Amino acid sequence: MGYLLRLLCVVGVLVPGALAAQPKYPVSTVTLVTHSSPGSGSDVFLRELIRHLGPEMGVNFVVDNVRGGSGATAVAKVARGPADGSMFYATTPTYIQTTLLSKPQFGYDSLDPLVTVFLDPEVVFTRTESPFKSLGDVVDYARKNPGKSKWGAANPGSLERIALERMSRLIGTRAAIVTHDGGGDLIINVLNGTLDIGVGEMQEIKAQLEAGKVRLLATLTEQRIDTLPDLRTAREQGVDLVVTKFRGLAGPKGVPDVVAAQWEAAIRKVLAKPEYKKVYDGENLVTALKGRAESRVFTADFAKEVEVTLRELGIIK
C-alpha cells in the first residue's frame, strides 16, 4: 500500500529568541517527524502544537512528513538521529503496532518516550450521501452482505485497522478493511464512495464535518464526547468496542534528562494557554500530560495490551 512512497513536507516556523526566564534550549532548530501525510491527525497535532510551543521554547520547528512502512521509515529516521534534542517522532499507537506486526529493524523500543500530551477520541464516519445513518446500519449491512462491506483505516499497523479487525470479529462477519498512508488519504476514499465507512480522529475530519460532507456514526470512547452529546458510543449501539489513542513525542536513545524536562515544562505551560486550549478543545483532544518517566511506563504497558489483543485476534502468533 505505497510503502515505497515518500512524501516530504517541510514547514519552518520562525519564532523569536528564548524568553529570558527560560533555560536556553541546546539547539536552535528542532525537527518533528511524523509518519502521517499532511492534513492527517499527527500532522495537525504537530503543526498546532509548534505554533504555540515555538515562542515558549525559543526555537525554530520543522515538521517532516516521512511516509512509508506504516511508520517504520519515520521511526528509523529518528532512531538514527542525533540525541541532542534536535529530532523527535510524533508517537501514536501505530508505532507500537507496526513493531509487533512487521518487526522492523527499528521499532517503538528503539526510541525513548519523551512526553505524552493528549488522548484522541476515535470516531466512525461516512459521507453525508451514504445510506448509513448509524453504526447499527453498518453492522446490519455487513451481516447481510458478508465480504461486501469496505471499511477504511489509516496505516496497516494503525490502531484504527486493529479496531476494525476487532469489530469484524465482534459482529461475526467479514469486511474488506482497506488501509492507507494516512488519514488524509482515508478521508478522500470515504468522500468519493470507495469506502462505506472510515475510522479516524475528530481533528482529521473537522473541516469535512463543518462543511457538511461527512456524517458521524459512533464514537469509540468509553463515554460520549462532551462536545458531541448526541453521538452514541459503539457500545450503546451493540458493538463492544473501545479504542484508546494517545499523542506524544519520542526521541533517539540518549536524549539528556535536562532536555526532557524542558519539553515537559514548556508543554505544560502551553496547555494552560487559553488560545491553545480553545484549539485542542475544539478538536476534542483530552489532555493527558505525562513526562518522560511516566511516558516510559505508559508506553510499555500499552505495548503489552496491544500484543495481547493481536494474539487474541490471531493476527500474530
| More reliable by pLDDT, 17 or 38 | 38
Distance CA 97, CA 78 (A): 17
Across the range 186-214, mean pLDDT stands at 93
Cα–Cα distance, 94 to 154 (Å, whole number) = 9
Task: Tell me the one-letter amino acid at 162.
Answer: I
Q: Kind of pairing, strands 150-152 and 176-178?
A: parallel
* Domains, the chain: 10-119+245-312 (3.40.190.150), 122-237 (3.40.190.10)
Specify whether the backbone of 82 is left (phi greater than 0), alpha (psi in -120 to 50) or beta.
beta
SS3 111: strand
Q: How far is CA 46 from the centre of its chain?
A: 11
Q: In 10 A of CB 29, how many CB atoms?
A: 13
Nearest-5° Cα angle at 219, 124 to 159 = 65
Say how many Å lie between the first and final Cα of the chain, rounded: 23
| 246-263 average pLDDT score | 97
Q: Which of the pair, 11 or 151, is modelled with greater confidence?
A: 151
Asked if the model's pLDDT at residue 317 lies above 90, the reply is no
pTM for this predicted structure: 0.76
Q: What confidence tens digit (pLDDT) does each residue in 137-156 have? A: 999 999 999 999 999 998 77
Neighbours of 4 (CB within 10 A): 8
